Copies of this chain bind each other. A is one copy, B any other.
Amino acid sequence: MSNRIVTISRQFGSGGRTVGREVAEKLGIAFYDQELIEKIAEESGLAKEYIQEKSEDTTHGNWFVNAFSDRNASGMSMQDYLWIAQSKVIGELANKESCVIVGRCADFILRDEADCLKAFIHADMAWRAERIVSVYGEGVNSPQKRLKDKDRRRRAYYQYYTDMEWGKAVNYHIALDSGVLGIEKCAEIIADLY
């Protein structure tokens, strides 16, 4: 396969999505974000809102309980079904063209693709808290609690479907602190490595 893929995993609020968009722009390759959700919706027949919420973490308070409680006769939960659909779509995209894919365990789904650059973007709690308030317009009422909660859900989701530890350096080719290095610099380094 001659396509080259960049996967970007990231802590919530770290600017990983922005890094991904800038990398794609610099390289002149596709950036899959909203369009990825649309493709997964086509593949699965599920609503975009559901996919947006459930394709990399969950809004349920107790996800593990929920993941096991809504299974159908085949033992598959709705989230398992979504996982299969998104794995299929991500695999197809990687076969179709060079691109940047943010989140959704793409690093794991494409683990056997030789030409996949796997990045992880993180930043400290204070930097991310300020950012989700100023950039995402999140309520100022305890943004740190919101971050911890999102991280916890994202970690649980990743671990459940990949059996790997989220945020462990050895699982990525490059991991960068966007709070210290800056979003633009992170994008530059990743684009340069491509």
A residues near B (Cβ < 8 Å) are 11, 120, 122, 124, 167-170, 172-177, 180-181, 185, 189, 192-193
Per DSSP, chain A at the interface is mixed
Closest to A122 in B: B170
**B174 and A177 form a contact (CB under 8 A):** yes
Copies in the complex: 2
State which of B124, B169, B180, B192 has its C-beta within 8 Å of the C-beta of A169. B169
**B173 and A177 form a contact (CB under 8 A):** yes
**A185 and B174 form a contact (CB under 8 A):** no
Closest to A176 in B: B174
State which of B169, B174, B177, B185 has its C-beta within 8 Å of the C-beta of A168. B169
State which of B172, B180, B192, B193 has its C-beta within 8 Å of the C-beta of A175. B172
Closest to A186 in B: B174
